[in-house]
């Protein structure tokens, strides 16, 4: 009798294990790998960053402006930077901070500067951190509907001129325009 009871117990245990294994195999296709849960985001390639910088430098140089141009990624981390011969040392930091501000706040810096002048309660945006610069010349880089970085130009004699040179950089890489075309 003990042998029959032991045999029955083994059969139940085997059947139970088989049910669990079958359920596991059947549910396997429905499990989601962790990699599928990771966000997917576009990255601005170094080649495009360099192309945008060169186009901006060339546009400013053609007009006689000695500038620095910086490109940052979506997180505001510097991807590439160039300083034209004769550009002032301050243009290095201003171009980087303009690019950072445009990428971080996802708007042209001229627009942001005008906005905080119109709406005094937004003055605190200047103090977000020491990398923000509310001065024209920074444009977000938008490709395929996604902000992938920012470009900043510093050193032309006027924010509108920095903006114009930065816009040429956007055009060179097929990014969405951020400065209205001159009338």
CB-CB neighbours of 149 under 10 Å: 31
Domain boundaries, the chain: 2-36, 46-172
List pLDDT tens digits, range 28-72. Answer: 665 566 777 888 888 899 999 999 999 999 999 999 999 999 999
> What pLDDT is stored for residue 7 in this prediction?
54
List pLDDT tens digits, range 110-134. Answer: 999 999 999 988 888 888 899 999 9
Mean pLDDT of 175-182: 81
CATH architecture of 46-172: 2-Layer Sandwich (3.30)
């Amino acid at each position: 009798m003990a042998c029959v009871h032991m045999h029955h117990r083994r059969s139940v245990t085997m059947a139970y294990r088989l049910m669990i294994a079958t359920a596991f195999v059947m549910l396997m296709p429905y499990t989601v790998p962790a990699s599928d849960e990771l966000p997917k985001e576009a990255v601005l390639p170094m080649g495009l960053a360099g192309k945008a910088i060169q186009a901006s430098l060339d546009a400013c140089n053609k007009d006689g402006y000695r500038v620095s141009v910086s490109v940052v990624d979506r997180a505001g981390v510097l991807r590439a930077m160039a300083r034209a011969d004769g550009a002032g040392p301050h243009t290095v930091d201003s171009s980087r901070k303009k690019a950072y501000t445009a990428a971080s706040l996802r708007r042209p810096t001229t627009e942001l500067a005008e906005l905080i002048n119109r709406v005094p309660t937004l003055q605190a945006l200047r103090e977000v951190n020491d990398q923000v610069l509310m001065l024209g010349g920074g444009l977000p880089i938008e490709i395929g509907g996604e902000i992938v970085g920012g470009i900043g130009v510093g050193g032309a004699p006027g924010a509108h001129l920095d903006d114009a040179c930065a816009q040429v950089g956007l055009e060179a890489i097929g990014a969405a325009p951020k400065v209205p075309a001159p009338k």
